[in-house]
């Protein structure tokens, strides 16, 4: 059982400039979501960071909200939180796979995201994983985002215009006809 295993946890990174994270949570199972948020907040505060919290209707909306915030705001990183408990239909598989895939794609584009969306078989598993005094998966997701932010800062931050760009020609003077001369 996962609850009895021990795992190595990386020490939290240090930051010379404060970090600001957006916690995006789907509170479908409110008590579980509250525990995830509590754990995430505590980890962010350990490094002197700040955070904002927004709620979205469900796990499928979490990556959409993160994508919007990544394009239109000034957050250093993001924490995705929620819980999907297996039900009687294949909707569980769709929600788990699609939310995870969308978060992964945003990460591959350069967004620093810790994924704390629980995907479990039953409520007991969710409660054990969400408990801030237990497995603390919310705190783990925040820690993952903080580590990715540290890497982005180490490597000079996110570059959103990756690829081939035309060379810029700079000219100091112009000839009599106004044409640039190198």
**In this predicted structure, what is the pLDDT of residue 139?**
98
Residues ≥6 apart with Cβ < 8 Å to 135: 2, 3, 128, 129
The share of the chain scoring above pLDDT 70, in percent, equals 84
Q: Mean pLDDT, the chain, as a whole number?
A: 89
pLDDT band at 178; cut points 50, 70, 90? low
* Torsion angle defined by CA atoms of residues 7, 32, 24 and 1, in that order, rounded to the nearest 10 degrees: 20
**Position of tokens 């796979």?**
97
pTM above 0.75, yes or no: yes
Domains and CATH numbers, the chain: 18-158 (3.40.50.960)
Strand 50-55 versus strand 173-174 pairing type: unpaired
The whole-number pLDDT of residue 6 equals 80
Active site residue 7: no
Task: Quote the distance between the C-alpha of residue 172 and its chain's center.
Answer: 45
Ranking 1-5, 18-22, 110-114 by mean pLDDT, the lowest is 1-5
User: Taking a C-beta distance cutoff of 8 angstroms, is the pair 31, 59 a contact?
Assistant: no
d(CA 114, CA 19): 14
Mean pLDDT of 13-24: 97
Tokens of 166: 């035309």
The predicted structure's pLDDT at residue 172: 47
| CA angle, 111 then 120 then 70, to 5° | 15
> What pLDDT was estimated at residue 168?
56
Whole-number Å distance between alpha carbons of 148 and 125: 27
User: Which tokens hold the place of 172?
Assistant: 């100091």
Quote the pLDDT of residue 181: 55
| pLDDT score of 170 more than 80 | no
């Amino acid at each position: 059982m996962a609850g009895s295993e021990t795992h190595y946890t990386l020490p939290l990174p240090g930051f010379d400039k404060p970090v600001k994270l957006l916690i995006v949570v789907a509170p479908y199972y409110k008590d579980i979501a509250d525990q995830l948020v509590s754990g995430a907040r505590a980890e962010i505060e350990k490094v002197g960071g700040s955070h904002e919290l927004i709620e979205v209707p469900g796990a499928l909306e979490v990556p959409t909200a993160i994508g919007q915030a990544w394009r239109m705001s000034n957050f250093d990183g993001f924490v995705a939180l929620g819980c999907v408990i297996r039900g009687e239909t294949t909707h569980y598989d769709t929600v788990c796979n699609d939310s995870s895939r969308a978060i992964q794609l945003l990460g591959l584009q350069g967004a620093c995201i810790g994924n704390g969306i629980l995907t479990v078989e039953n409520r007991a598993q969710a409660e054990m994983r969400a408990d801030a005094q237990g497995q603390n998966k919310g705190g783990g997701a925040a820690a993952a985002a903080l580590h990715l932010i540290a890497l982005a800062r180490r490597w000079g931050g996110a570059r959103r215009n990756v690829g081939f760009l035309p060379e810029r020609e700079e000219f100091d003077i112009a000839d009599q006809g106004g044409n640039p001369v190198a």
